[in-house]
Amino acid sequence: MRLLIFGFGYSAGYIARAARSRGAVVTGTTRDGREDTLRFDDRERVLHEIAGATHILSSVPPSEGRDPVLAAYGDAIAQSGAWLGYLSSTGVYGDAQGAWVDESASIGGGRRVARAEADAAWQARGASVFRLPGIYGPDRSPLDRVREGKAHRVDVPDQIFSRVHVEDIASGVIAGFDAPSEAYNLSDDEPAPQNAVIDYAAMLLGMAPPPFVSVDDLSPMARGFYAENRRVANGKAKRILGWRPLYPNYRLGLRALSATTIPIMPSAPPASASGDQR
């Protein structure tokens, strides 16, 4: 297996590690060629890697309304004959007013129009598309934000979001190598309010929960995030990929992360917690 990953970032690093554990040779691209990756604009070398790849995965988001990977290398990718994959976002579903959404739901009606278009473009080329909610994991979780004083709770009642641990993304993508090329939601089993997650992280750290802020005090991007409300169903990934999240809820995920650095507090999360985290 020779896996080429466009956009060698946080999630891609875990996918690469999982693929290498299966004996794969993994090459990644970045904008600046850091840490033994290829520069995205080093066309000759990238085309060489595309031609030799058995698997090609893109984690590059749209930029200026288009998909940079398909714009630069779409023809070569189409001719490669490799397995294709794309890391998309559950933001393509838009606002569901807290209802459950699965892969049969329409996409492109929310704030992620360019992402939805890229999602559809990769599917049209025969790619497996993995739609991801809020991603957390080592060094990138509510624990880190609470510890660093960067977390807040937002006074938006009844707001529900889904999330996924980065290791569960990796296992889902690896499972997709041997499955039909379709769209799959990779999310945990328990959508939850952000405020409940932040409260639980603070409890694990033995710290007081951060104060509430008004949604009006957030950045325009964050306000757009809170304008959407949905629960993401993962049943298709379970049925077809045979995938099961190692961390089916945020409590298990945060407890595992906290166990590597701090003692876990035995008390339960506050009963009055409400809101959501991403």
Over the stretch 173-197, which tens digit does the pLDDT of each residue have?
Answer: 999 999 999 999 999 999 999 999 9
3-state secondary structure of 227: coil
pLDDT value of residue 59: 98
* Tokens matching residue 167: 């290791």
Mean pLDDT of the chain: 92
CB proximity list for 249: less than 8 A, separation 6 or greater: 188, 189, 190, 192
> Residue 142 contacts by C-beta under 8 Å, 6 or more apart in sequence?
136, 151, 197, 198, 200, 201, 254, 277
Distance, CA of 126 to CA of 241 (rounded, Å)? 17
Q: What is the structure's pLDDT at 270?
A: 31
In 3-state terms, what secondary structure has residue 108? Answer: coil
pLDDT of residue 275 exceeding 60? no
Output b/e per residue, 232-259; b: 16+ Cβ within 10 A: bbbebbbeebebebebbbbbbbbbbbbe
Residue 261 has what pLDDT? 57
Q: What burial letters (b/e) apply to 24-39, b meaning 16+ CB within 10 Å? A: bebbbbbeeeeeebbe
Cα dihedral across residues 32, 124, 93, 276: positive or negative: negative
- Which two tokens mark 29? 């691209």
User: What is the residue type of 258?
Assistant: S
DSSP SS3 for 209: coil
Question: What are 32-68's pLDDT values in tens digits?
Answer: 998 789 999 999 999 999 999 999 999 999 999 999 9
**Percent above pLDDT 90 for the chain:** 83
Q: What is the rounded distance in angstroms from the CA atom of residue 142 to the CA atom of residue 64?
A: 30
- Residue 96 tokens, joined: 């569901």
The band of 221, judged by pLDDT with boundaries at 50, 70 and 90, is confident
> CB-hemisphere CA count at 13 Å for 162?
29
| Token representation of residue 63 | 């930029």
Which tokens is 111 given? 């704030």
pLDDT at 166 over 90: yes
Q: Do 43 and 70 form a contact (C-beta atoms < 8 A)?
A: no
Tell me the pTM.
0.91
Helix axes 43-52, 68-80, angle to 10 degrees: 40
The letter for the amino acid at 272 is S
